[in-house]
């Protein structure tokens, strides 16, 4: 899987699960992952359609992914652990897809660095 596809999966996950959370609790803060998901989705689309912008778009996508991951782990996860239920499932889904995307980003950055060194 490419980092662009992993980022696309993460974006879709953030949007769908964020909307699910919003519809479940009707709290505007549940839309925060949706906003981040939309930005990451736009980055993924540009990344796939405009390969010349890959470096810039990848860095923007990883920045937004890291920010939402920090917010999910630092702010939302402790509250969801206390409450349990489907809220915890939603948070774990978003954390998992964000970690997956970050893993592919890091692997891609390392591979690109190795390619630059050997050239």
How many domains, in total, are found in the chain? 1
Domain that holds residue 101: 3-118
Q: Which pTM value belongs to this model? A: 0.89
**Sign of the four-CA dihedral 8, 13, 14, 18:** positive
Query: What string of pLDDT tens digits covers the 119 residues of the chain?
Result: 888 899 999 999 999 999 999 999 888 998 999 999 999 999 999 988 988 888 899 899 999 999 999 999 999 998 988 988 898 999 999 999 999 999 999 998 898 888 877 76
Write phi, then psi, for 50 (nearest 5 degrees): -125, 80
Question: Which of these, 61, 71, 89, lies nearest to 31 by C-alpha position?
Answer: 71
């Amino acid at each position: 899987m490419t980092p662009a596809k992993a980022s696309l999966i993460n974006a879709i996950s953030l949007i769908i699960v964020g909307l699910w959370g919003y519809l479940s609790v009707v709290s505007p803060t549940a839309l925060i992952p949706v906003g981040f998901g939309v930005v990451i989705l736009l980055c993924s689309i540009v990344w796939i359609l405009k390969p010349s912008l890959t470096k810039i778009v990848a860095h923007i996508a990883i920045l937004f992914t890291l920010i939402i991951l920090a917010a999910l782990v630092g702010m939302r996860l402790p509250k969801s652990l206390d409450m349990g239920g489907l809220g915890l499932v939603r948070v774990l889904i978003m954390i998992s897809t964000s970690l997956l995307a970050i893993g592919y980003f890091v692997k891609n950055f390392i591979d690109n660095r190795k390619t630059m060194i050997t050239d």
